[in-house]
Chain A
């Protein structure tokens, strides 16, 4: 019996489509439901980030970094200021470092909640999405309390912060953590261990570790493939070496290591770890220290270049900054983790069905603002 082979059809998913997470266009070659090739077409959200940076001063770059990964702006600020401080050899007070870690971890939780909730939506579960947004809302409230903005904060400055913590902040965050930690059980019950959800995600879109490394995939996606790699532990920046936390990795609990379920579950576990870091940071938070004290009057780094990597919720976020001694960067390159994650899509979703492509794309947790810059 010969194999019946039908004609192939090109299907354009996006730029406007419910589950392309922004304005991504996927040119999908399908044979019936089976996908034989995918070409992601990006750039619909290109805002000339790098060109803009060359024409702005170093301070003016910070709001731009907010807008790159608008889901985790704090972490993007963080990466930039860490790179700048290393370039300029600024020592920031401990209080500032602790506040930054608190903000970054809160934002990591918020970002993962969005990723997990939207992933539920991608595989057709609407309710978990709203549960997670309900709790993410509380984190945004905390940010609003701190710096007045809910999404784009411009909070971390080179050498300091824009505002000190408001009165009662520590209690608010403790209150949030006490409320939030039991909720994880609820998510697991409604989504993670749902039979249909496991059917949809286990063994689907398996990303082997060596392919992941070759594609530069990082963060939760890499850890989902079973590679224990986290810049917060392996190349600690800021004060991360003072905290005690684990790096969760995918273990193929319900399928193969590196499948969509593993990538999903690693994020779920990372939320717990972030909460752990938060509790330690809140406990040790130094009471004195001026958040504006180390901010330089003029930002003119010495000639030179720096490549600094930090761990954003999406993975390995790096800035390559070249300074020529003027108040404007000579060249600023942002290495975005979602960019590399999207490039692996074709590799791992060939041969799967159309519905799986949506599931795989969702499990990679991309943000188009960061890919297109």
Chain B
């Protein structure tokens, strides 16, 4: 009997890991179900560990963008290499994006906005990415030009324990809120930002929630923060 149960739980967890939660939810017995859920959480935790250990190799992009983007991207990256040869990391750049060093980012961004060949007047989005528990944090800027109708993605990575990137708030005004959001979630400090504080979370929240090594704080204003939700997964 016990062997059967173990077997059942194992199968259900395997199925659930592939995305079929019904396998667990359909278990009749409550005790068995909760045991299955517990082992699922465990399995997931291990899986994420594995996941983060394998570094994110996106440069072998399987996706293909529209042709317009590609050509303009190469064009922009050539421009940048001519202007700022030391700041562009050519090895890490690809057709889709340009990897640059944080140091001169403010100058580069001003150049990108004002140069008649690029004219990126609109900052579409700032995305923070955690490349893994052991590796760096990365900020990704999606720029778009309303005049030339081309787009480019800029990536800047910074070390996890000393995450600092120059702020582009003065270049694109929306950078203000986007940078605050990235700071809120990843703890990346944007140097030169005039009002860098949390935006979505309460100001006294601890930790950077979207980092992969984030641990939920134990209590918040004396209220215990629940970590495993009973009866829901």
Contact = CB atoms under 8 A, between A and B. Distances in A.
Judge A-B direct contact (beta carbons within 8 Å). Answer: yes
Contacts of A42: 199-200
Interface residues of B, number: 42
A46 to B, nearest CB: 5
A202 interface: no
B197 to A, nearest CB: 11
A48 interface: yes
A318 B60 CA distance: 23
A335 B61 contact: no
Interface in B102-130: 121-125, 127-130
Interface stretch (A67-75, A171-179, A321-329): A321-329
A60 B146 CA distance: 34
A342 to B, nearest CB: 8
A343 B122 contact: no
A329 to B, nearest CB: 11
Chain B binding surface, main DSSP class: loop
A333 interface: yes
A48 B58 CA distance: 25
A303 B60 contact: yes
B200 A343 contact: no
B153 interface: yes
A343 B176 contact: yes
B201 A46 contact: yes
B51 interface: yes
Nearest to A48: B209
Given A43-B200, A324-B51, A335 B62 contact: no
A215 B149 contact: no
A87 interface: yes
A302 interface: yes
Interface stretch (A21-29, A162-170, A305-313): A305-313
Contact of A214 (B121, B130, B210): B121
Given A50-B185, A327-B19, A215 B174 contact: yes
Contacts of A333: 125, 127-128
A216 B174 contact: yes
Contact of B19 (A59, A214, A302, A344): A59
Contacts of B128: 333
A318 B125 contact: yes
A331 B60 CA distance: 17
Contacts, number: 112
Nearest to A234: B149
A327 B172 contact: no
Contacts of B123: 216
B29 interface: no
Interface residues of A, number: 50
A303 B153 contact: no
Given A327-B18, A340-B177, A227 B146 contact: yes
Contacts of A365: none
B111 to A, nearest CB: 16
Contacts of B172: 214, 216
Given A43-B202, A51-B210, A306-B63, A324 B56 contact: yes
A50 B186 CA distance: 12
B117 to A, nearest CB: 18
Contact of B63 (A50, A59, A86, A327): A86
A326 B124 CA distance: 27
Nearest to B56: A324
B57 interface: yes
Contacts of B176: 343
A89 interface: yes
Contacts of B51: 324, 326, 330
B147 to A, nearest CB: 10
B35 interface: no
A298 interface: yes
Contacts of A322: 56, 58, 129
Contacts of B124: 216, 307, 309, 316, 318, 335
5 contacts: A48-B209, A87-B63, A89-B63, A335-B125, A343-B177
